[in-house]
Amino acid sequence: MASLEGVHVALLTGFADDGAFSAERQARIVDYAVRQKVDGLYVGGSSGEAAIMQAGELSEQQEVVMERARGKVRTLIAHVGQPALKDSIRLAERAAELGYDAISALPPHAFAYRLEDVKSYYAEIAKASGLPLIIYEVPHRTGRATPLAHMDEVLQIEGVAGLKYTSPDLYLLSRLQKRFPQKLFFFGVDEMFAAAAALGVNGGIGTTYNVVGSLYTAIAEAVVRGDLERMRTLQRISQDLVERIIAVGVIPGTKRLLQLAGVDCGPARAPLSLGPADQVDALESWFATEAIDEWLA
């Protein structure tokens, strides 16, 4: 089994101008991603606009990415978390058939589910594929932070290999690392990755990695070397990028930068759209500076 540790691009989805899934544009996004110094791809997650895609489209995306990326990165993780459990199971089974190394899933969040519901959801997905399962803590998406006691129980579900942690609460992350030293922890807050790397996370999974994934690999390497000055310098480049992307919308903004990098990735799917024109201009002007050239594929 491939090692799951390392820096993984939370892959964007390629859409046609009319909003339909585009295998051709998806392939172009993959081609750019694998030219970066990254360890793997995380397919079909929030960064890929999965919440506004159908299960059939996500299954097709899994196939396109596997065909295009196989042998070019070490690890491929398929996000399969959907509001309906049957769709998640279908996607988990398909990921196993295609040869993905692991699966991941948001917790169910369409309703205020009980802990037992969440545990059952994850257990069924893990059983369906037989692949290592990376569960997910992302309070800004689910509308609630998972209490530590609940996280203790969910991480003990059979088949759960680790956690994608997208929260700025580094204290909770550190407590979980101590409780579960045998589990893998991936950090998903791009603008704070250096701090999590210093805490010893096993890798990162992020949206801005689509454009400058090599930057995050360099941050991780600086942490390992104990080069704090370089770590801070690189993280501030990431923060400058994130600040400007947030001002125009994270997914549309990241796609705009990918287009400026020469990738025909297509638009974000409606109703997502770019923000104010002046902020888009500011993003594009900053991107045109030499500060980021080193990190483009």
On whether residue 1 sits in a domain, the answer given is no
Structural domain count, the chain: 1
The answer to whether position 174 is within a domain reads yes
E-state strands within 80-149: 102-104, 133-137
- For residue 224, the model assigns a pLDDT of 97
d(CA 296, CA 210): 10
Confidence check: pLDDT of 140 > 90: no
In a domain, 137, yes or no: yes
pLDDT band at 1 (very low <50, low <70, confident <90, very high): low
pLDDT tens by residue, 65-123: 999 999 999 999 999 999 999 999 999 999 999 999 999 999 988 788 899 999 999 99
Given CA atoms 98, 82, 206, 137 in this order, what sign does their dihedral have? Answer: negative
Element (H, E) at 280: helix 277-287
- Domain containing 56 — which CATH number? 3.20.20.70
Residue 236, domain extent: 6-295
Q: Between 146 and 259, where is the model more confident?
A: 259
Q: Whole-structure pTM over 0.95, yes or no?
A: yes
Tell me, what's the pLDDT at 6?
98
Which residues participate in catalysis according to the annotation?
Answer: 136, 164
The verdict on residue 15 lying in a domain is yes
**Does residue 153 form part of some domain?**
yes
The string of pLDDT tens digits covering residues 205-262 is 999 999 999 999 999 999 999 999 999 999 999 999 999 999 999 999 999 999 999 9
What's the maximum distance between 2 C-alpha atoms anywhere in the chain?
Answer: 51
Q: Is residue 129 part of a domain?
A: yes
- For residue 71, is it within any domain? yes
For residue 179, how many C-alpha atoms fall within 13 Å in the half-sphere facing its CB?
17
Q: Mean pLDDT across the stretch 34-40?
A: 97
